[in-house]
């Protein structure tokens, strides 16, 4: 059989008034639902998701830093829809007002490990020989899944109706084969409040259920069998009542004490952030000073290099002038030598000539003497 869904409208009647909070009139305001519904808002802080694949194996990792829940037991349907529309419009903003409440992030310690960690592993085991028709079910039979969830340091207050609604929300129309699942719980505290009316009129009233889990491991195999066991091999089952009470007090301290601890850790984180900012400013100033000193040193080095180059040029010019002067001196020495030699030769010729003249004169005088 094929089910066909169609939009259903309320039949017009004499009462089409809006019993919720007043809002601006519109055409659709007369068709709003007048019944009350319950709402639960889960705030997830710092949600991180990563997917890794290597060959036929792939894994998806999800972690949440902090989680908190706000419940509203009775809210008109039309106001819930307008609130959802308003939230979708300003989804990127950090604060918004609705029913005299402000949007705030759940208080958490950024240095602490995440409170929820999830890992989903998927492995494809293909057979060596594939025969016959390959359909979707056959391909799904080759894939194996395993999920691991770690929940730590969570303190929440929930209503029984919210838990039942979450169970109805997770219900699937198709019955699938059980997936192997491992859940590790550590330091988890959940306070369940019974908000449903009692069955008997003479009932004294609901009693809240305080669930405190120190360490517990839940494991489900492929057959759907759920195993519950403590974590760790050193779990001592022979502890006395006083030791159990001390352990419970250590694991689940009073909310005020936890708030004070969170506040003190936040103050320490703020002081560390201020110190880090101051150190970053100092580091930036030191980098600026180092850069200016480097520029100044570079300029001085360039000036000294220019002076050195000018001095080297002057030295090369002086060396060339010295070489030219030495060549000139050598040329002058050669010229002087030739001049001296020619003078000596001329002087010797003159001396010989004068001696010859003197001899000739003396001989002439000796011949003409009477």
- Does residue 48 surpass a pLDDT of 80? yes
Give the DSSP letter of residue 238.
Answer: T
- Does residue 235 surpass a pLDDT of 50? no
Q: What is the mean pLDDT of the chain?
A: 78
Residues 227/219, Cβ–Cβ less than 8 Å: yes
CB atoms within 10 A of CB 148: 17
Residue percentage of the chain with pLDDT more than 70: 76
Q: pLDDT tens for residues 251-305?
A: 555 455 666 777 788 888 888 999 999 999 999 999 999 999 999 999 999 999 9
Residue 131, pLDDT score: 73
Residue 234, pLDDT score: 45
Q: pLDDT tens for residues 310-338?
A: 999 999 999 999 999 999 999 998 888 88
- Does residue 70 surpass a pLDDT of 50? yes
Residue 91, pLDDT score: 59
Separation of alpha carbons 255 and 177, rounded Å: 41
Residues 116/67, Cβ–Cβ less than 8 Å: yes
Query: What phi, psi does 189 have (nearest 5°)?
Result: -130, 120
- Does residue 100 surpass a pLDDT of 50? no
Separation of alpha carbons 247 and 88, rounded Å: 44
Residue 5, pLDDT score: 59
- Residues 312-344 as b/e (b if ≥16 CB within 10 A, e otherwise) read eeeeeeeeeeeeeeeeeeeeeeeeeeeeeeeee
Could you tell me which of 218, 275, 215 has the C-alpha nearest to residue 251?
215
- Does residue 111 surpass a pLDDT of 90? no
Residues 235/214, Cβ–Cβ less than 8 Å: no
Quote the tokens at residue 356: 């010859």
For every residue of 163-199, DSSP letters joined together read HHHHHHHH--SS--PPPPEEEEEEEEEEEEE--SPPS
């Amino acid at each position: 059989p094929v089910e066909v869904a169609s939009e259903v409208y309320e039949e017009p009647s004499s009462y089409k008034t809006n019993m919720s909070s007043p809002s601006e009139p519109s055409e659709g305001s007369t068709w709003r639902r007048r019944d009350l519904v319950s709402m639960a808002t889960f705030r997830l802080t710092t949600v991180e998701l990563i997917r890794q694949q290597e060959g036929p194996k792939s894994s998806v990792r999800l972690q949440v830093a902090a989680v908190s829940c706000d419940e509203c037991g009775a809210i008109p349907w039309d106001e819930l829809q307008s609130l959802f529309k308003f939230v979708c419009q300003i989804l990127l903003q950090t604060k918004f007002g609705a029913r005299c409440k402000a949007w705030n992030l759940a208080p958490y310690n950024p240095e602490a490990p995440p409170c929820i960690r999830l890992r989903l592993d998927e492995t494809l085991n293909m057979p060596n020989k594939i025969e016959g028709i390959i359909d979707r079910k056959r391909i799904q039979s080759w894939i194996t899944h395993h999920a691991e969830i770690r929940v730590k340091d969570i303190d929440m207050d929930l209503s029984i109706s919210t838990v039942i609604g979450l169970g109805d929300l997770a219900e699937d129309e198709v019955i699938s084969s059980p997936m192997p699942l491992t859940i590790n719980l550590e330091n988890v505290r959940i306070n369940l409040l019974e908000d449903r009316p009692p069955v008997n009129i003479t009932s004294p009233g609901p009693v809240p259920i305080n669930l405190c889990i120190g360490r517990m491991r839940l494991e489900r195999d492929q057959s759907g069998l759920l195993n519950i066991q403590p974590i760790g091999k050193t779990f001592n089952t022979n502890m006395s009542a006083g030791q159990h009470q001390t352990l419970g007090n250590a694991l689940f301290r009073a909310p005020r004490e936890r708030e004070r601890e969170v506040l003190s850790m936040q103050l320490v984180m703020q002081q560390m952030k201020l110190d880090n900012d101051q150190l970053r400013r100092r580091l930036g100033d030191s980098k600026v000073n180092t850069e200016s000193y480097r520029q100044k040193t570079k300029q001085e080095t360039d000036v000294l290099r220019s002076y050195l180059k000018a001095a080297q040029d002057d030295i090369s010019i002086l060396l060339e002038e010295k070489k030219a002067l030495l060549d000139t001196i050598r040329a002058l020495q050669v010229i002087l030598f030739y001049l001296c030699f020619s003078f000596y030769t001329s002087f010797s010729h003159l001396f010989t000539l004068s001696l010859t003249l003197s001899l000739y004169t003396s001989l002439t005088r000796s011949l003409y003497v009477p």
